[in-house]
Structure 1
Amino acid sequence: MRKYRKMEEDLNEEFNSLKENLNEVQKQSENFIVINEKRLENFNKLDEIIENIDKEFAEKTGILNKKDQTFLWTAVALQTLRWYLLEYDFGEWTIDKDSREKASEGGKREEQERYRYLADIFRKEEKKKGETYILSEFDKNIKENNKITPKMKNIIDDYFSKTNKNIYSLEKTYIPWTDYFKNPVPYDAMKDDENNFEGVKNIVIEGVTNKDKNLAPVKHHSATMGHDPILGYFFGTINIMTSTITINYSMYPTYIVEYPKIQEKIEFFETFLTSVRAGIDDFKRIPAALIRQAMHVSSDTFSTMGLPIPFLNATTQQKFLEQGWNSNELFKNLSKFKESLGKNITILEMQLLISYFINIIISNLHLLFYDEKKDGNLKLYNVRTQKIIATSNSISSGLNIAYVGAKIYIGIKTININSIKNGIKKIDLGGYINTVHEIVKSKKLQERIRREYLEERLYEKFLIEKKGNKNE
């Protein structure tokens, strides 16, 4: 009996052990199912989870707290003080009127350039035909006179006699590109047609044009877009291709020209489209018009009045011209930067080095104030440090641009060239370079740490399930 009782006890013990194991297996299975259901649920909400992790990362790397703001604005103050104390040397700005020439002298030089350009084409064409006698006489004339004589002009004009009238209308064919060089530029026209009741005489620009008056010779440079030394290569080129004149006024009023008279009004956009079609019709037209524009700009650059300072409205351009400040004078004075090139290169280097040095100081001081309990992960704290550096540099550069822009704007509004000069001297070129570098550096670091943080949090969410295991 004892033997059987012992067997029964052993069986009961094994059964209970097996039952416990089965319960444990069942428990583990249920736990496994719950965990995998959670993981499946997480996979289904992956986009939402990543978005939440990104928000969490942004909160932990934000710099809106008191400590970071203190470092940020200290850095901004230091960087701003740096660029305010460092400035480039442009020397003393002066006006040199003695080196200017009469407009008639520039006109003569331009005429010679125009006909020399046509003479080269004439020579090539005649050489193809084998007209050696005409060429020898032509070259002999140039050699003896060292210029294009009236006789030679007549030969050239006769040769390029396909279109002799400097008039354009939509009904006529496009102007032959050789005529660009035979005729004066259309935006030099100054006489409005007497019967043109909607003509240029009706455009009143303060200090530039008057009601019922033709364009004045001393003011037509500021009045016309073709004479803008930069924008003229767009407007003037189109004017040359379409025999039109565009006024430096709101909506760019444009008129057809029958030189020297200004005729009926036409929409500028229409002339733009016509110039495009003309360029498609003959690929030589656009480059020829650009060359012709360059010739005229060159002839007017050194004239008594000169060409206006680009991009300004006509009234402001004229006021500067009357003070003696034209685009050439401005360029010559800006070129004085080269006269102190060694000093200015040193200024640039100092802008870079001091800006970099300030960044290092702020970065190291910020790291010294790291508190693991309050600031958490050191990598995330490093992101905050780099954000402070990049943001402070960006704010400082923005303030510099605003300062320079304000000085130039005030100078333009008050016709004060010294204010413009003082603004240009403060351009923080070295600071701009350093700012771009720090922004790129910050973005790279932030993206790398963000990726690591995202991987860690996703690993916890999908594989470890620490919190879930503890609750179980």
Structure 2
Amino acid sequence: MTEEEYYNMLLLTDEEVEEVHSKHMRSYYSAVEEFGNKTSLTSTDMGFLMVAAVLQTLRWVFFGKDMQRFEKASDADKTFRSIGEKINNDYLPATVRSIGESLISHTVPYDAIKRSERFIGIYDDMPGLSGTNHRYKAIGHDPLAGLIFGTANIATNTLTVNDWTSAFPSYHVKEQRIDGKTDLYHVMKWTGEILQDKPEVIGAALARQVAHCCTDMFTTQGLPIPVINVISPEFSGFLVGQQIDVWGTTKSASMAILINKLIEMCHRLFYNPGEDLKLYEVRTRKILTYSNTLSSLINVGYVGATRNVKKLDVGGILVTLWRLLNDKEKIRKIKREFVNMTLDGELKKEEDEVNQQLARWGFSI
């Protein structure tokens, strides 16, 4: 037999190639079906799913976004001031204590809503700030943007209005009254100069910014949701009016995550050591994803039927979306590993059979 004849003998015909492909696909679909069977929810899993869905639903029904809030900003200031004074008096050195007392006791310039007589006599400009809208109209109140602009306002005694269409109008503040006009460029320029000459002032301003946002976050007016607040202050104001703010969203999301973690730990107690742990993890993830989705759908349906937007469980819905995306990817990865391992096992089995056949013929690999 020539080398060419031997080579041609090793080549597969079209029919043989089709047969090998069909066999491989049958093995693949069989592995996929086996994965589905082994990760399908049992009666015990369904019990966990219903309990989790009920807990998630009771969470947004009874723990409203208006709970754990101060009625007035001054109440929050008093509470945090008492905590700060205790820390200053008991633990911090005198030099730092004096800075801490000034941070806790003083207001911030971007809380100013009244105009001075001087401003009224010179300018026709109307900042358009009031007690009801300054939380989303003053960019210093934005939880993220405020870290930069709010700190700059505190350091320079200025106020910047959250209006990107007008290049963020800014004003001088004197004795908590709007006293003159400036612009964002100069506010940031002065802040840079202070940072070079007296960086401790910027550090103190940043600390005051964080402390002020912490107190405002727990009040009835709340703090606006970042990003949305900068893009559309008016829409952000509507959301704040419906208590869809930083505290309400964070609280509901935290409680949803806590319930998920409790269900996950309890479900793990029913794990049989004889099972594949990764396949059991898939069932746990299905329980959490399905229960969160069910609760969120009930919530959206309830809000749509009652028109009560304050009951919209934004935090819970965000957790649901995260689980849908994250768990789907995790399950896909575990499924891929399972199928590949199954196919590799079958291939190894076929390889062993071939080696055994060759051994009977006197060949060894």
TM-score for the superposition, normalised by structure 2: 0.53
8 Å contact 2:243–2:310 — kept in the other structure? no
Aligned to 2:94: 124
Aligned to 1:238: 152
Q: Deviations over 1:248-288 (max 9, x none)?
A: 22232222211322233323133223212211212312221
Any gaps of 5 or more consecutive residues in structure 2?
1-24, 30-35, 41-48, 269-277, 284-299, 336-365
User: C-alpha separation between the residues in 2 aligned to 1:263 and 1:350?
Assistant: 67
Partner of residue 186 from structure 1, selected from 109, 118, 121 = 109
8 Å contact 1:103–1:300 — kept in the other structure? yes
Q: Which amino acid aligns with 1:242?
A: T
- Structure 1 residues 108 and 426: CA distance shift in structure 2, 3 A: closer
User: C-alpha separation between the residues in 1 aligned to 2:106 and 2:240?
Assistant: 27
**Does residue 262 in structure 1 map to residue 173 in structure 2?**
no
Q: Deviations over 1:205-235 (max 9, x none)?
A: xxxxxxxxxx221221111111122322122
User: C-alpha separation between the residues in 2 aligned to 1:296 and 1:341?
Assistant: 32
Aligned to 1:302: 218
- Structure 1 residues 105 and 267: CA distance shift in structure 2, 3 A: same
Q: Deviation at 1:236?
A: 0.9
User: C-alpha separation between the residues in 2 aligned to 1:296 and 1:96?
Assistant: 20
Q: Which amino acid aligns with 1:290?
A: L
User: C-alpha separation between the residues in 2 aligned to 1:197 and 1:110?
Assistant: 38
Aligned to 2:247: 328
Alignment of 1:279-428 (within 5 A): 279-313=195-229, 314-337=233-256, 338-343=258-263, 353=282, 418=312, 420=314, 421-422=316-317, 424-427=319-322, 428=324
Q: Which amino acid aligns with 1:96?
A: D
Q: Which amino acid aligns with 1:426?
A: L
User: C-alpha separation between the residues in 1 aligned to 2:264 and 2:123?
Assistant: 55
Aligned to 1:430: 327
**Does residue 248 in structure 1 map to residue 143 in structure 2?**
no
- Structure 1 residues 256 and 433: CA distance shift in structure 2, 3 A: farther
**Does residue 200 in structure 1 map to residue 109 in structure 2?**
no
Aligned to 1:174: none
User: C-alpha separation between the residues in 1 aligned to 2:163 and 2:225?
Assistant: 15
Aligned to 2:289: none
Aligned to 1:96: 66
Q: Deviations over 1:375-398 (max 9, x none)?
A: xxxxxxxxxxxxxxxxxxxxxxxx
Q: Deviation at 1:182?
A: 6.3
Q: Deviation at 1:433?
A: 5.6
Q: Deviation at 1:293?
A: 0.9
8 Å contact 1:242–1:275 — kept in the other structure? yes
Q: Deviation at 1:196?
A: 2.1
- Structure 1 residues 105 and 352: CA distance shift in structure 2, 3 A: same
Any gaps of 5 or more consecutive residues in structure 1?
1-66, 72-77, 127-147, 149-155, 161-176, 202-214, 355-406, 439-472
SS in 1 for 2:110: helix
- Structure 1 residues 426 and 125: CA distance shift in structure 2, 3 A: closer
8 Å contact 2:169–2:184 — kept in the other structure? yes
Aligned to 1:106: 76
- Structure 1 residues 342 and 304: CA distance shift in structure 2, 3 A: closer
- Structure 1 residues 333 and 178: CA distance shift in structure 2, 3 A: closer
Partner of residue 224 from structure 1, selected from 138, 142, 146 = 138
User: C-alpha separation between the residues in 2 aligned to 1:277 and 1:350?
Assistant: 59
SS in 1 for 2:173: strand
Q: Which amino acid aligns with 2:222?
A: G
User: C-alpha separation between the residues in 2 aligned to 1:236 and 1:342?
Assistant: 39
Q: Deviations over 1:68-125 (max 9, x none)?
A: xxx9xxxxxx9xxx9xxx9998543222346433222123345557777887999635
SS in 2 for 1:426: helix
Aligned to 2:344: none
Q: Which amino acid aligns with 1:107?
A: D
8 Å contact 2:70–2:76 — kept in the other structure? no
- Structure 1 residues 299 and 437: CA distance shift in structure 2, 3 A: same
Q: Which amino acid aligns with 2:321?
A: K
User: C-alpha separation between the residues in 1 aligned to 2:83 and 2:262?
Assistant: 39
Q: CA RMSD in A?
A: 4.9
User: C-alpha separation between the residues in 1 aligned to 2:317 and 2:93?
Assistant: 53
- Structure 1 residues 198 and 307: CA distance shift in structure 2, 3 A: same
- Structure 1 residues 307 and 120: CA distance shift in structure 2, 3 A: same
8 Å contact 1:233–1:293 — kept in the other structure? yes
Q: Which amino acid aligns with 1:339?
A: I
